Each structure stands twice: as C-alpha cells, then as structure tokens.
Amino acid sequence: MTPVGALQTWLAKPVADKRRSLRYHLRRAWNRLLPRLPVPLRLDPGIWWIARNDAVSDDLWQGTFELPERAFVQRVLRPGMTVLDVGAHAGFYTLLASACVGDAGRVIAFEPSPRERAHLRGHLRLNRRANVTVEEVAIGDAAGSGALFVFDGRTTGCNSFHLADVRGATPITVPIRTLDDYYARGAFQRVDLVKMDIEGAELAALRGAEQMFRALRPLLLCELHDKRTAPWDYPARHIVDLVEGWDYRWLAFDDESGRLVPVAPSQTSFVTNGVAIPNERRDLLDG
C-alpha cells in the first residue's frame, strides 16, 4: 500500500481507533528513544501513574489495559468497602480500589517483589492515598518462604514462583502467608472484593483463604490462564472448581463485547480474567 493509501485508510477509521493508533506509535517511539525515562499519566478516575518501560504501562498509555475489568471494579465498589489486592504489582488496581472505596474504605495490597513494591509505594505517595496498607508478602496455602523469580526488563508482571522458562528472571527469597491467617488474627473483619493475579499461584492462595471466603463472602476478580498455571502442574479449571465448591458462580469477560458471561461446566481451557460471585448475591449480575 502506498503512503497516500495508508493515510486514506487511517483517516477512514473511527476516531477511537485513530486515537489508539496514535497512542501506540507514540509509545513505541518513546520506548525506543527514551527507554529509561518514565512519564506521568493521568488515568480514570483521577489516578496519576508513572509509566515506565514495561508492558502494563504500555497498555495504560494506549488506553487498552483491562477495560472490562476496570469497569466491573468501579461498578461494584462503594465508599466504605474493603478490598484485598493480591499481587498488587505497581498498584494500578490498588489505586483504582482506593479511589472507589474512599477515605472510609480500606485497601490491603500484597506484593512480595521489592522493586514492584517500591513503585507501588511511590504511586501511593504521588496520589496521596492514605487508605492503603502494603503487606510485603506473597499469599499461598501455608506460611513459610519461597524463591520468587523476578523478571528484568519489560515483563515485570510475570514474576512467579514457578516458570516454564526462568531466563531473564532472578530468584529472591520472600515470605509467604495465608489470607486465612490474616483473617484469624483480625487483620480485617470484612472483605468486599479480592483481586488476585499472581501468575499461577492462585490455586494455592485460594486454598489458604477458604475460611475467609466462606465467612465474609467477598467477590473475586481472578486470572484464569492455563499458560500461567501449567508450570504449577494444574489447569485453571481447578481454580473454578475450588471456588464453586464454596457456593460461588463464575463468569468471564467476553473477548468481543467485554461483558460478563457464565462459565460453562464443560469449559476446560481458560485465557481470561474471571469473576466469582456468591450465589446469594445474584443481584450483582444485573445492570
């Protein structure tokens, strides 16, 4: 296609597509020319984010980062609620939840990687969020410690205890705790939403949180991704089956519309984020 033809094709696209295209090419140019220079972004709902040269910041810059999931969080959270962000990374969902629950609410962010935790704390200071507690631990099914593989470069969101390929990652020893331990010692009396994205450790973390889920009945926003669970030797379906046993119903974000659709009992493969809702809270499926 000639340059003129390419320009005509681009001009014929919807405004939203043109905006995404411009953001994409601007971000690529920035990463190529100034890869070590972070840039501040203003994101909905009024969040300041320091965009570094990583995949999450790329998606935030381009306006494509987990839009249905973000809309769901903003729809269900209300002032005064309590949120657990398990696998907080640099803190986007921590900041989003903090803004939604307000000063009367509370967010507890769990992040074992010192580098990501430093970025998380920086974002909290930048946004003046005083309703967030940061816990310097990983979440699992038993208290102890483990070797967390922390990636260099752009794939900082893929840190994990088990990887199919450890090249580019450095192991560091981090403490592991269970959510049931936190619940038993009174660290929280209510939990309204648990967001969990911990690169395959979800099954262990949920096994260590059964008492809390059965007692407090929070919503769960959780990664269901067979590629992430494979190094842990289980399919993502096991996460679905475990939580369904607590009288929850699972839904997943449709790739095309972004709407929540029921997870079929026959579904055996997953590459998505899922939402688990207590069966007594079917009102949350409305709207």
| Residue listed under structure tokens 């816990």 | 135
Half-sphere exposure of 177 (CA within 13 A, CB side): 16
Take residue 71 and report the two structure tokens written for it: 């809309």
Domain ranges of the chain: 66-285
Identify the CA nearest to 112 among candidates 133, 132, 88, 94: 88
To which H or E segment does residue 6 belong?
Answer: helix 3-11
Write down the pLDDT at residue 4.
56
Write down the pLDDT at residue 287.
47
Rounded Cα distance between 24 and 18, Å, is: 10
Average pLDDT estimate for 44-62: 91
Helix, strand, coil percent content, the chain, rounded in steps of 5:
40, 25, 35
Q: Is pLDDT at 8 greater than 60 in this prediction?
A: no
| pTM of the predicted model as reported, rounded to 2 decimal places | 0.89
Tens of pLDDT along 168-200? Answer: 899 999 999 999 999 999 999 999 999 999 999
Q: Is pLDDT at 36 greater than 90 in this prediction?
A: no
Query: Looking at residue 160, what DSSP letter applies?
Result: B
Residues shown for the chain: 287
Tens of pLDDT along 88-130? Answer: 999 999 999 999 999 999 999 999 999 999 999 999 999 999 9
User: Would you tell me how many other CB atoms lie within 10 Å of the CB of residue 238?
Assistant: 15
Question: CATH number of the domain at 66-285, please?
Answer: 3.40.50.150
pLDDT over 90 percentage in the chain: 73
Write down the pLDDT at residue 247.
97
